[in-house]
Structure formats: structure tokens, C-alpha cells
Amino acid sequence: MKTLLPPCRWRLPAALVLFGLISACGGGGDGEPDSQVTEGIYEAVTPAVAGAPYAPVLADCAFNEARDDSCTLERLPFLGQETGSVTVDKLMERVVTSHPWMAQRFREVLQTLPEPALRMTRSLTAVVIGSKIRPSFYTTATGAIYLDPEYLWLTQAERATISDEEDYRAGFGNALQFVSLWRYVSNNRYAYYSYADSYTGTRSVYDIRLPIARLLFHELTHAGDYMPPAALDGLARNQTLRQAIDAQRGHRISDELVAGNPLASQTWKALADVLYRGSTASSAQRAMTPSEVADAFAPDRASDAYNYSTQSEDIAMMAEEALMQFHYGIERDIAFTNRPANSGASGDDYIVAWGVRGRVREPRVAAAAQFVLQRLLPGTDYSAQFANLPAPTPMRPGESWTTNLSASPDVPAAKSADAVPLPAADRLPPG
């Protein structure tokens, strides 16, 4: 049985928590990590390109449990300080992995990505892929991204080397009457899939390219937020990475967006604490119906409920959705539904109170997303794509999440089997 690719589960190196902010796959206000992310993820890693200029320092600067300060930019600069045009070969020189196959798969998938994805890596110092990393994340402690190899395996032998830990956030929000769902779609089908634990076959690079593209667009938006591309040329090499990132405070892309176009819904800012940080729901929140939370969400400019978790997630969600639509032609669904009592409920049991396909196409959301992409990718003009976006497609309230997979009530939704449990990825945070 196929299930949707599960979203991130969090962990963070304990030493890095002391002086770094983490973004993606959950965190507290302004990216501060939750206590659950401090489980160790350290193991021996080796450079993907042994003879690369910075290969000897990558593990020490980006994956050293004993390190309690950041490296200088002389020792490990941002990639964009070294080159204005990132190639796959240049990026691979900044990669370390716990298993050689991870580097090979990552290179293969990078070769399928659109050029803007590589340009977004200029705000990185390194990429770490390790068997214990779950979820994927970015942290200001190192200026690196850390990737869950669940996205990369092709064979069962590769899969056997990586963590199968469950997402600890799965129970967050269980006291609420509603569920926030999401998925990517193409031609009224799920755009990509992962595979159940019982699956014994293989995957191809084609099978993994879309979920990895989505993941990288998301994580690289965090990197570009904390170190905006426009700031790279003015960085002094004698400062530490943390000093360089701290100097951007107030001038980050998300800071600019919040200053001029903040999210308005206080209801959803409070609900985000429950859904994404495990805060206890108040009696008023427990009483809210799917329709009521939809009424609080729809007038605002968020592209997803997860936007309300932090301002960095706010821009990452919009950038991710817009870039997936522009470069791959796939659309994103979101909806608020009932919460079925049965833990094994299928998509037929989740009844949509409000939902939409292509929320980033809503004019308020599109304007904010365009603002973000202009600063993330100053050399790429997406104005024509934004100008030609069609209106979002509303879902049909009162029908199921499964039925709404088809944008038209006259076209049956495509599904692989009847009454299978709803994929966990549809319910969990999309970071």
C-alpha cells in the first residue's frame, strides 16, 4: 500500500540548541526549538567530495556535538561568498553524509532540479544527510540544512540504514474538533507517494524528485530568510557565522513581510501553538468547529495553517507552494475537516467544511509570495507567472477529502484502493 510522504519529525543537536535557531518542521517563536528536538543525531559523517576545498572542516563546523560556537566565515563561508552561480558539483563539495549512497542519491536528484533551486543554496554553508536525522531542518547555529534520508532511498538496503522513528507531534491537536489537511496534486491525483513499511520493492529517482524538490524549496527558503542573498557580498570573513546571521535581525525577508503585511488572525496564532507546539487547548479552542476555524483562516493571507507557527514558516510555505506550481505544474490542497473518532479512518471519513486548491493563487497570498520570491531569487522574474495565475479552486463543502481530490464533481477521484487509512502526511505539519 502506498502512503503519502510523511512530513518532518524533529530532532536537534543539543549543543546547537544553546546558540542557534532552528527552522522547518517545527519550532517555538522565531524558530526557537521545542524541548523534544534535542535528542542526539550525531554520528560519523564523511565529505561527499573528499578533495574539496572545505571538506576537512565540514563535519567540525556543521556536525560536531562538542562545538558550542560557530565557525568563522574564513573557515567555512556561505556558498554564495564563493560563487554567484552554483552548480551541482559546487554544491556537492559542501555535502557530508553518514552513508555513501546518500551522497550518490542526492547528486542524482540535484541534477533534476530547476536552476533557481541551486541558486537558493548560496545562503548555505553545508548540507548534512545522516541516518538519524529526522526531521529535515535548517539551523542558524551552522547555516546548514540537515536532510532526512527517507526522501532519498531507492533500495531496501538503503532504506534499512535510516531511522524509522514516528513523528512525536502526531497527537498534537487531538483535543480539537477539526483537522487541517494538505496534499500536492496533479491531474486530480496525489502528485507523489512514499511507501509503507511493508513495501519490499524499489524506487526510482523519478519517484523521489518531487518530494525532494518540495523539501529543498522549503528548507532553502529558511536559509535565504536568515541570510538574505542581498547581504552575502558584504560579509566580512573574520566574523563568525552567528555574528553574520545575527546582523540580519530586523532585515530578514520574513521581517520585511511582517512589517508590511503581517498575518492578522489571532485565533490562528493561538491554534498554531496547539497544533505545532503541543500547547494545551483551551475550552474555547476545543469547542471550535471546522467551519469556525475556516472562517478565521479564509480572510487572512496565510497559504496554510502552518504559516502561523513562525514568521519563517510563513514565508517557507508560500515560497514552496509557488515554486512547485511554477516549476512542476503541481497544485497544493488545504482543507479543514471534522476529526473522525476512528484512528484508522479513511479519506472518505474526513468531511470538508472548507478547502481550496491553489491557495497561493488567491490575490492576497500571491502578492505576499511574490514579495518573498523577489528577495529569495533576485535574479529570477516571476511576475508573469504570478500575473497569469488562475483563481484558486474551491473545494465542495460537505463532501469528503477523497471525493475532493477531483476538482470536478463530475470526474471521480483517482485512488488506489477503497477505505485505506488516511495517509499520515495529509494530517501532519507540512514543514
Q: pLDDT truncated to tens, each residue of the chain (431 aa)?
A: 233 333 333 333 334 433 456 664 544 334 334 445 436 789 999 999 999 999 999 999 999 988 889 999 999 999 999 999 999 999 999 999 999 999 999 999 999 999 999 999 999 999 999 999 988 889 999 999 999 999 999 999 999 999 888 766 677 899 999 999 999 999 999 999 867 778 899 999 999 999 999 999 999 999 999 999 999 999 999 999 999 999 999 999 999 999 999 999 999 999 999 999 899 999 999 999 999 999 999 999 999 999 999 999 999 999 999 999 999 999 999 999 999 998 789 999 999 999 999 999 999 999 999 999 999 999 899 999 999 999 999 999 999 999 999 988 776 655 444 456 777 777 767 75
Identify the pLDDT of residue 27: 41
Question: Looking at the structure, do residues 209 and 263 belong to the same domain, yes or no?
Answer: no
Is residue 345 in some structural domain? yes
Question: Looking at the structure, do residues 214 and 327 belong to the same domain, yes or no?
Answer: no
* 390/405 Cα distance (integer angstroms): 18
Number of domains in the chain: 2
Question: Looking at the structure, do residues 32 and 155 belong to the same domain, yes or no?
Answer: yes
* Adjacent-strand bridge partners of 46: 97
Is residue 212 in some structural domain? yes
Question: Looking at the structure, do residues 206 and 272 belong to the same domain, yes or no?
Answer: no
The CA-based angle 210-212-213, given to 5 degrees, is 65
Identify the pLDDT of residue 402: 95
Identify the pLDDT of residue 12: 36
Question: Looking at the structure, do residues 360 and 420 belong to the same domain, yes or no?
Answer: yes
Is residue 144 in some structural domain? yes
Question: Looking at the structure, do residues 246 and 335 belong to the same domain, yes or no?
Answer: yes
183's CB contacts (< 8 A; 6+ apart) are 4, 190, 191, 332, 333, 423, 425, 426
Distances (CA, A) of 365 to 146, 315, 358: 28, 10, 10
| Residue 24 exposure: Cα atoms within 13 Å on the Cβ side | 30
Is residue 180 in some structural domain? no
| pTM, to two decimals | 0.92
Q: Is 251 helix (H, G, I), strand (E, B) or coil?
A: coil
Question: Looking at the structure, do residues 162 and 251 belong to the same domain, yes or no?
Answer: no
* Residue 118 in grid coordinates: 541551486
* Adjacent-strand bridge partners of 186: 189
* 351/353 Cα distance (integer angstroms): 6
Is residue 231 in some structural domain? no
Is residue 269 in some structural domain? yes
Identify the pLDDT of residue 25: 54
Question: Looking at the structure, do residues 213 and 262 belong to the same domain, yes or no?
Answer: no
Is residue 194 in some structural domain? no
Identify the pLDDT of residue 171: 79
Identify the pLDDT of residue 7: 34
Question: Looking at the structure, do residues 212 and 137 belong to the same domain, yes or no?
Answer: yes
Question: Looking at the structure, do residues 18 and 156 belong to the same domain, yes or no?
Answer: yes
What is the domain extent for residue 254? 241-427
Identify the pLDDT of residue 414: 53
What are the phi and psi torsion angles at 263 (to 5°)? Answer: -70, 145
Measure the N-to-C terminal CA separation of the chain; round to a whole number of Å. 24
For residues 425 and 5, is the Cβ–Cβ distance under 8 A? yes
Is residue 182 in some structural domain? no
31's CB contacts (< 8 A; 6+ apart) are 21, 22, 23, 140, 310, 312
Give which of 291, 359, 335 is closest to 427, Cα–Cα: 335
Question: Looking at the structure, do residues 77 and 210 belong to the same domain, yes or no?
Answer: yes
The beta-strand segments (E) located in 118-277 are 126-129, 137-139, 144-147, 178-186, 189-190, 194-195
Question: Looking at the structure, do residues 212 and 277 belong to the same domain, yes or no?
Answer: no
* Residue 112 in grid coordinates: 533534476
